[in-house]
Structure 1
Amino acid sequence: MHHAPGPPEKWPILAGAKTVENRPTPWRTGWVLLHTSKTIDQPALRTPLIGRTIRGRELIAGAVVDVARITDCHQDPDGAPPCSEWAHPGAWHLVLADVQELPLPVPARGQVVPWKPSLDLLDRVFQQLPDFRP
C-alpha cells in the first residue's frame, strides 16, 4: 500500500464527488492511503468545483484521511473530452474506487510520492477499519 499526499482536492474524494486524481507520472493500480497537505491551500478552496463539493466539511491538514483503490491509470487521448470534470489535460488520471474514510484522521508527515508507509502508520489506519481487506 502506498501513500498519496495532497491538497484540499482530497476532500471531494471523501465526499464521493471526485473519482479521478491527477498525477504527473503513471501509477500502478492497487490500494493507497490518501493524506491532506501540511497546510490548507486557501486559493484552491475558492475554486468553484472544490468549494461546492466540500462545503460544510471540516478540513484537516497533515493527516491520512482515507483509503482508496486505484482501479485504472490513464491519460486522455489528444482531442478527446476529459474522462472527468476533475481530469487535468496532459496529467495521468488515477481512477479511484472503494474510498473508505477514516473515523479519526491519522497524523502523518508528508513524503515524496509514492512512498511506503511505516508499519506503525498502517496499524493506526487499520485499527479504524477492522473489516478492511486489501
Structure 2
Amino acid sequence: MIRALTIRSPWSDCIALDNGKRTENRVWRTNWRGLVLLHAGLQTDRPALHLPHVARTIRGRDLPTGAVIGVARLTGCHQDPDGSPPCTQWAEPGRWHLELTDAQELALPIPARGQLGPWKPTEDLLAQVRQQLPGLRP
C-alpha cells in the first residue's frame, strides 16, 4: 500500500532531493510505514527559504506546488526526549519526527490535489508516478 504526504515547499523539495532532510516534523504521530508520495502543497513556507541549510539545498531550483515531486519510504516516527538536542538539524523540538529514507525525485512534477495527513493516492496518480519510476515497489 502506498500513501501520499502533503508537505509545504521548500521542505518537500529538501526531502525529494535526498540531500540530508530525512525528518518531516508533524504535530501527530503515525504507526503507518511504507512508501509515500511526496506532494508539494499549494503553500510555500517563505521564511524557510532564507534558512542556510534550506537555501543551500534548493539553490537554483524551481519549487513546484500542488504536485507530487518524489517518493520516499516512511520507516519510523519518534519524538526527541525532553531536553535532548534535536536528532537532526531538520528536527523541531516537541514535534513528531517522521523518518524518511530512500527518497527519489521525479523528473517531472505531477499535478495533484493533496490533503492534511497521509492520504491515499488515486490509481491514476500512482500510474503516472510509475511511468517515471518503473522499478517502484511498495
- TM more than 0.5: yes
Match of 1:34 in 2: 38
Residues 39 and 25 of structure 1: CA distance in aligned 2, closer, same or farther (over 3 Å)? closer
Task: Determine the C-alpha separation between the residues in 1 that align with 2:111 and 2:80.
Answer: 34
Shift of 1:48: 2.2
TM-score by length of 2: 0.90
Shift of 1:71: 1.2
Distance 1:13 1:41 in 2: 14
What are the residue-to-residue correspondences of 1:8-87 with 2, within 5 Å? 8-15=10-17, 16-27=19-30, 28-87=32-91
Task: Tell me which of 70, 92, 95 is aligned to 1:91.
Answer: 95
The one-letter amino acid of 1:20's match is T
Paired AA for residue 127 in structure 1? Q
Return the offset for 1:126. Answer: 1.1
What does the per-residue CA deviation read over 1:76-105, in whole Å, with 9 as the maximum and x for residues that have no partner?
Answer: 111111110100011111111111111111
Structure 2 gaps of 5+ residues are none
Q: 2: distance between equivalents of 1:74 and 1:121? A: 29
Question: What aligned pairs does 1:90-109 form with structure 2 within 5 A after superposition?
Answer: 90-109=94-113
State the distance in 1 between where 2:14 and 2:121 align.
23
Counterpart Cα distance in 2 of 1:78 and 1:40: 30
- Once superposed, what is the RMSD of the aligned Cα atoms? 1.3
Identity %: 54
Equivalent residue for 1:130, pick from 109, 115, 134: 134
* Count of matched residue positions in the alignment of Structure 1 and Structure 2: 134
Q: Give the unaligned 5+ runs of structure 1.
A: none
Distance in 2 between residues matched to 1:117 and 1:132, nearest whole Å: 15
